[in-house]
Amino acid sequence: MIYFILTVYSLVLASFLHVVGMNYPLRKPFLRRISSECDYCGEKLLTIHLLPVVSFILLKGRTGCCNQSMSWSYFIVEILAPIFVCILYKVYGLENSFYLYIFIFSLLLILYVSDIFYLHIPNLILFLYFISCASYYGYVDFTLLLQHTYQLILGIIVFIGIYLFVRKGFGFGDIKLLILLCFFFEF
């Protein structure tokens, strides 16, 4: 039963995060929008077309309104997210690590979408995740926040160094993300 609940929640979460990743870099409003719209023609989507995975299969990967081919990334994300969340639950139960990894996973999902569609890593999203995580660490234990701040400083030195000296293959978006991950994880 718990796996069923986790699957449903992670499907809803993953498709919401996909929408964030698709819309935020274009500064399209998405939070206050009650109904969802087609990415191509802007027509309101029917409820049946909003079901994750199911609608993709029913419509054979095309939009119901204007028959454009839908991006496979919806399907891939919606299949992989529940698998990943269930594995996390199997390994960690409902310990703190479970929530931390879901938190990091949600960030990576948004960035994956905005990166493959627009080659863009939005600073505000990174900042919001940083502030949320820093507040959580500070709330739990101030020394924990300090320890993660040291890691952040170390991350800045190492990855800015790599960026300046190695350069090849790294965009600055990658560097920002790697530095932030130094802050999130245990040393």
Residues that bind Zn ion (CB under 5 A): 38, 40-41, 43, 63, 65-66
**Shortest reach from residue 60's CB to Zn ion, in Å:** 15
Two tokens at 110? 């948004």
Measured from the CB of residue 59, what is the shortest distance to Zn ion in angstroms?
Answer: 11
Q: Shortest distance, CB of residue 119 to Zn ion, whole angstroms?
A: 24
Q: Taking a C-beta distance cutoff of 8 angstroms, is the pair 15, 6 a contact?
A: no
Rounded CA gap, 51 and 53, in Å? 6
Instruction: Write out the two tokens for 56.
Output: 């993709």
Instruction: Let me know if 65 is exposed, middle or buried by CB neighbors in 10 A (0-12, 13-18, 19+).
Output: middle
Q: Is 62 helix (H, G, I), strand (E, B) or coil?
A: strand
Nearer to Zn ion, 2 or 41 (CB): 41
Residue nearest to Zn ion (CB): 38
Compare residues 39 and 174 and give the one whose CB is closer to Zn ion. Answer: 39
Residue with tokens 């994300």: 77
Q: Which is nearer to Zn ion, 52 or 155 (CB)?
A: 52
Nearer to Zn ion by C-beta: 69 or 97? 69
Q: Please state the closest distance from residue 12 (CB atom) to Zn ion, in A.
A: 22
Closest distance between Zn ion and the C-beta of residue 55, in Å?
13
Query: What phi, psi does 45 have (nearest 5°)?
Result: -90, 145
Residue 83 backbone phi and psi in degrees, to 5: -60, -45
Q: By C-beta, is 36 or 149 nearer to Zn ion?
A: 36
